[in-house]
Amino acid sequence: MRSLSEIETAVKRASRAVGFSWGNSEEVGKSIRLLELFGFQGVKNLNQYYAVKQKKKFEDLNLISEKNEPSLEAYCPIILGISFLDQIKSIENFETIRFEKIAYPVIFLSFLSRASEISGKKIYAKFDKNEILLNLNVNICSSFFNQKFPKLVDKVEIKFLTNQDNFTEIEWNSLYKLAENTFVEESDSLKQGAAGAGLTDND
């Protein structure tokens, strides 16, 4: 079994060898390491992408807007991913970000996961019909488990999810009521002595 450290180093060097700058190659190394850690086929997809990249010119998207359409070929998932990370502060307020045609989208997915951690928000992504939830770079929930990732997605939709509770106020109150059963009702003497400050805390 290859260690994640070996994977990161080899990916960084391979990325440099295919023409990315050292700084960008470092980013790819971290991202592929992450995919492998989460159980996605990072090395396999990157290998295939670099093989195709030698014959085909993918498009670089350096400035992300709400709607992004490549003029001819699909977007390079690496430059797109790095741009997404770099521009996170300016794009996190968009309601939905749409991309058309991204090559080897699983590679882009790793950058989205890191973006979720940087922004402190969960990210919802839809790759054609498949839904993915990126949870602050702690895990990735997707319906892709045990499935091959496509080599190309036509439509991608990204939403930064507002941090909000996953439950109703009624559900919370019900749970809190149970928690209160671990508390002691304070008598006057407990109020007087148990906190050490007496009945008033004015100075």
Q: Could you say whether residue 114 binds another protein (CB under 8 A)?
A: yes
Q: Could you say whether residue 178 binds another protein (CB under 8 A)?
A: no
When binding is defined by CB under 8 A, the residue of 18, 85, 133, 136 that contacts another protein is 85
Q: Could you say whether residue 134 binds another protein (CB under 8 A)?
A: no
User: Are the beta carbons of 93 and 159 closer than 8 angstroms?
Assistant: no
Q: Could you say whether residue 62 binds another protein (CB under 8 A)?
A: yes
Q: Could you say whether residue 65 binds another protein (CB under 8 A)?
A: no
Q: Could you say whether residue 90 binds another protein (CB under 8 A)?
A: yes
Alpha-carbon dihedral 105, 65, 27, 44, rounded to 10 degrees = 10
Output the CA torsion sign for 55, 66, 118, 155. negative
When binding is defined by CB under 8 A, the residue of 68, 83, 110, 116 that contacts another protein is 83
User: Least distance from C-beta 138 to another protein, angstroms?
Assistant: 14
Binding positions for another protein, 143-172, rule CB under 8 A = none
- The CA distances from residue 170 to 38, 167, 174, 175, 180, in Å, are 35, 8, 6, 9, 15
* Of the candidates 56, 90, 95, the residue with the CA atom closest to the CA atom of residue 75: 56
Q: Could you say whether residue 26 binds another protein (CB under 8 A)?
A: yes
User: Are the beta carbons of 58 and 103 closer than 8 angstroms?
Assistant: yes
The site for another protein (CB under 8 A) is made up of: 1-6, 13, 20-24, 26-27, 30, 62-63, 82-83, 85-90, 114, 118
